[in-house]
């Protein structure tokens, strides 16, 4: 097979988060495949043919991209952030696994990107300085009960917790349930960060406390970082936002 398929993370909302490696591959690609929102994020000077599709058809999109590559095309499958974090990388390999032997000889590579978690953390300091967990609140592909169990386990382990896909226009109750669970286990004074549209012009990052989170401002373009018992603020004064960090050392609470 002369074609190839590269799965690319475009970074967190801004071209400054697009890695040089990803840019190089986009320049080399003959075809770009992805969810319409992410295909539109590819810089306009990239000359490859674009194949955009709707949300919710990730495996079908992957099969289409694999067929293009098998036919000799140089295909970039694009995701936001990092393609391996709730992105298209898993969908591509699901498609490969569902078609035993069909694409095993194809050149497939995952190209790392800068996910929203890393972009948000860098904006506010070093909240990921110690162990952390990443959870999606979307129950589209997994039952809510398993999400609840994971939130409880992360709290019992005193991990910093990063939450992707916290709420959509129609999926609001799960967010409230999650905050109730975390507040009950961690306490309302736990440091919380609400970040929306990180890396875009509309970027807004709010540093607050778990019990004071305003759920009305949270959308699918938001992510949350919930601190551990050791996460701290450094107040800067003069109207400047504080820095947030989690120390590298861990001393169990008495």
What the block records as the tokens of 19 is: 């890695």
Q: Global pTM? A: 0.90
Q: Are residues 127 and 101 in the same domain?
A: no
> Stretch 194-213: mean pLDDT, rounded?
92
Per the domain annotation, does 252 fall within a domain?
A: no
Count of beta carbons in the 10 Å neighbourhood of residue 146: 10
pLDDT in tens, 91-107: 999 999 999 889 999 99
Residue 198 lies in a domain: yes
Q: What is the mean pLDDT of residues 44-69?
A: 92
Q: What pairs with residue 193 in β-bridges? A: 207, 225
Domain extent at residue 47: 4-114
Question: Cβ-count burial of 90 within 10 angstroms (0-12 exposed, 13-18 middle, 19+ buried)?
Answer: middle
What whole-number percentage of the chain has pLDDT above 70? 99
Whether residue 216 has pLDDT greater than 70 = yes
Output the domain CATH number for residue 231: 3.30.950.10
Number of H helices, E strands in the chain: 7, 13
Q: Does residue 61 sit in the same domain as residue 136?
A: no
Confidence at 140, pLDDT banded by 50, 70, 90 = confident
Regarding whether 121 and 94 lie in a shared domain, the answer is no
CA distance 117 to 188: 22
Cβ within 8 Å of residue 85, ≥6 positions away = 9, 115, 117, 134, 164
Domain count, the chain: 2
């Amino acid at each position: 097979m002369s074609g190839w398929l590269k799965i690319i993370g475009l970074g967190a909302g801004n071209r400054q988060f697009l890695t040089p490696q990803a840019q190089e591959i986009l320049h080399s690609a003959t075809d770009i495949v992805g969810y319409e929102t992410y295909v539109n994020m590819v810089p306009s000077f990239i000359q490859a043919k674009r194949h955009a599709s709707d949300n919710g058809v990730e495996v079908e999109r992957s099969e289409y991209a694999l067929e293009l590559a098998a036919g000799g095309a140089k295909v970039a499958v694009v995701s936001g952030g990092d393609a391996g974090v709730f992105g298209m990388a898993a969908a591509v390999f699901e498609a490969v696994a569902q078609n035993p032997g069909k694409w095993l000889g194809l050149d497939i590579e995952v190209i790392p990107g800068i996910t929203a978690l890393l972009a948000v953390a860098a904006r506010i300091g070093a909240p990921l300085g110690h162990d952390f967990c990443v959870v999606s609140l979307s129950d589209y592909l997994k039952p809510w009960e398993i999400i609840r169990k994971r939130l409880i386990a992360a709290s019992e382990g005193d991990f910093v917790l990063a939450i992707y896909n916290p709420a959509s226009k129609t999926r609001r109750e799960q967010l409230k349930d999650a905050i109730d669970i975390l507040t009950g286990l961690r306490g309302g004074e736990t440091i919380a960060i609400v970040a929306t549209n990180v890396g875009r012009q509309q970027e807004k990052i709010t540093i607050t406390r778990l019990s004071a989170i305003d759920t009305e401002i949270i959308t699918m373009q938001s992510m949350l970082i919930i601190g551990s018992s050791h996460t701290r603020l450094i107040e800067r004064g003069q109207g400047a936002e504080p820095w947030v960090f989690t120390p590298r050392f861990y001393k169990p609470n008495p």
